[in-house]
Structure 1
Amino acid sequence: MGRFSALEWPVFRQLRSGDHLGRGPAVASAKTRATQSRNATADRVVQSICPYCAVGCGQRVYVKDEKVVQIEGDPDSPVSRGRLCPKGAASEQLVNAPGRQYDVLYRAPRATEWQKLDRDTAIDMIAERFVRSRRNTWQETDDEGRILRRTMGIASLGGATLDNEENYLIKKLFTAAGAIQIENQARI
C-alpha cells in the first residue's frame, strides 16, 4: 500500500478537481478506479431465462473459459426489463455450486450405498415402475358401477423451477395416465 496523503481525501479531491458537489470522479478512490467487474473479462454473453419460476425473467449469462462467472438481469427482456428477484440474482450459485450432482444416483431398497446409473437405465426403471403402479392401482368403476377411470397409486408434485410449458406437459401426461392427485409447489 502506498504512503498516506491527506491530499487524497475525497473533500480535497473535490476542491482540486472542481467537482464541488462530489458527484463526479473526485469521489472515486484509486482502488475504486482500478476495480473492474467480473463481466468486463467475460469471453461471451449468452441470453437465457431464469430457471426458478414460471415468470420467465431474462438473464445475461457471462462466460469466461467456458465457465459461468456472472448472471445478471437482461435489460432487453420485455418480461423483467433487467430486474431479477433474489433467487434469480443468485442463480450463478446454482450453476457453480460445489455440491452439484452431475450423475444419476440410485439406492436400492435396504441398501446403504448409492450407485451411479446411466440415464437410459434410470429412465427405463422409472417408466417400468410407473406402468406397473398404474396397472396395479387402476380403478375402472366404483362400488356402485360409476365410471372412474383413474389411479390413486400415482401422484405428481411439480416444482416452480419448471416453466409453464413443462408444467403444462407434465399435467397433461399425468392426467392422460389417469392420475388425479396432481399438484404444483408454486401453487401451494
Structure 2
Amino acid sequence: MNMELSRRGFLRAAGAGVAGTSLGAMGFSEAEAAVAAYVRPLKLANTTETRNTCPYCSVACGIILYSKGDVRKGERAEIVHIEGDADHPTNRGTLCPKGAALKDFVQAPTRLTRPMHRKPGSDRFEPITWDAALDRIARLMKDDRDANFVLRNDAGIPVNRWTTTGMLAASATTNETAWTTFKVAKSLGIVGFDNQARV
C-alpha cells in the first residue's frame, strides 16, 4: 500500500496526535474520567469528615480531617487522611509543607494526649485527669490573683490589674474565639496578653 503524505498533512496529523495524547494525559479521556470518579469516594468511604484549623502558624488555614470509628459508639476514632479545605477562604485547599504533614504530627507517638504534672521536687511528669488539671490551674490562678490584684494605682485611681500572670493564646483561631479569649483575659484583669504568632 502506497500512502502519500504531504508535509502539511504530516504536521496536521502529528498536531492532532499530540493534542489527543495531551488531553488523555490530563484526565480527559473517558476511561480516566470513569476511574477518577471512583477513586475519591472509595478512598474516603465510611469516614467522618471534620473541618478544623491547622495548628501551626497564624495564617489559620482550613483543613479537613477524615477519621474512621464512631466516638459516640465508644469506638476509638483514627485519623486516616488530612487535606486542605478547598472551601476555606484563607488557603482554598492548599497547605504548606508543615500543614501537608499534619497526619504525622497527629499520630506521632511523642504527642501529648492528656495533661501531665511534675510535682515539686520530682524529676518526672505524671499523667493526671483533665478535671484535676483544670482544678489545679483554677486554684493557682485564684490564689495568685487574690494575692497580687491591684485595685488602685499610687495616685488612687482604680486600675483593676493583675500583673503577675500573663496569657499566651493561639493565633490559629476564628475571630469569635480570639474575641472571647481576649475578653476572658481582660475581665480577669490580666495585663500581659500575647499570642503565638509573635513567638
Cross-structure match for 1:46:
49
| In structure 1, C-alpha distance between the alignment counterparts of 2:161 and 2:17, rounded to whole Å | 75
Q: 2:176 aligns with which of 155, 160, 165?
A: 165
Alpha carbons of 1:160 and 1:49: their partners in 2 closer, same or farther (altered >3 Å)?
A: same
| In structure 2, C-alpha distance between the alignment counterparts of 1:157 and 1:67, rounded to whole Å | 30
Cross-structure match for 2:3:
none
TM-superposed CA distance for 1:56, in Å, is 4.9
Cross-structure match for 2:13:
none
| In structure 2, C-alpha distance between the alignment counterparts of 1:69 and 1:39, rounded to whole Å | 14
Cross-structure match for 1:138:
149
Runs of 4+ in 1 over 4 A off after TM superposition: 18-22, 37-40, 53-56
**Which AA in structure 1 matches 2:44?**
A
- In the alignment, does 2:191 pair up with 1:180? yes
TM-superposed CA distance for 1:64, in Å, is 5.0
**Which AA in structure 2 matches 1:42?**
L
| In structure 1, C-alpha distance between the alignment counterparts of 2:193 and 2:87, rounded to whole Å | 36
Please say if residues 38 and 70 of structure 1, whose CA atoms lie closer than 8 Å, have aligned partners that are also in contact.
Answer: no
TM-superposed CA distance for 1:87, in Å, is 3.2
TM-superposed CA distance for 1:144, in Å, is 2.1
| In structure 1, C-alpha distance between the alignment counterparts of 2:84 and 2:190, rounded to whole Å | 38
Please say if residues 60 and 71 of structure 1, whose CA atoms lie closer than 8 Å, have aligned partners that are also in contact.
Answer: yes
- In the alignment, does 2:134 pair up with 1:123? yes
Cross-structure match for 2:22:
23
| In structure 1, C-alpha distance between the alignment counterparts of 2:68 and 2:133, rounded to whole Å | 33
Alpha carbons of 1:107 and 1:47: their partners in 2 closer, same or farther (altered >3 Å)?
A: closer
Deviations along 1:2-31, one digit per CA (max 9) or x if unpaired, are xxxxxxxxxxxxxxxx954653668xxxxx
TM-superposed CA distance for 1:132, in Å, is 0.7
| In structure 1, C-alpha distance between the alignment counterparts of 2:63 and 2:78, rounded to whole Å | 16
Higher helix share: 2
| In structure 2, C-alpha distance between the alignment counterparts of 1:19 and 1:98, rounded to whole Å | 52
Q: Gaps spanning 5+ residues in structure 2: where?
A: 1-15, 26-31, 33-38, 70-76
Cross-structure match for 2:96:
85
TM-score by length of 2: 0.67
Alpha carbons of 1:67 and 1:168: their partners in 2 closer, same or farther (altered >3 Å)?
A: same
| In structure 2, C-alpha distance between the alignment counterparts of 1:85 and 1:50, rounded to whole Å | 13
Alpha carbons of 1:142 and 1:182: their partners in 2 closer, same or farther (altered >3 Å)?
A: same
Q: Of the two, which has the highest radius of gyration?
A: 2
| In structure 2, C-alpha distance between the alignment counterparts of 1:54 and 1:39, rounded to whole Å | 32
Deviations along 1:52-71, one digit per CA (max 9) or x if unpaired, are 35655433333456432221
Alpha carbons of 1:45 and 1:119: their partners in 2 closer, same or farther (altered >3 Å)?
A: closer
For the residue of structure 2 that corresponds to 1:175, the secondary structure is helix
Q: 1:149 aligns with which of 160, 166, 171?
A: 160
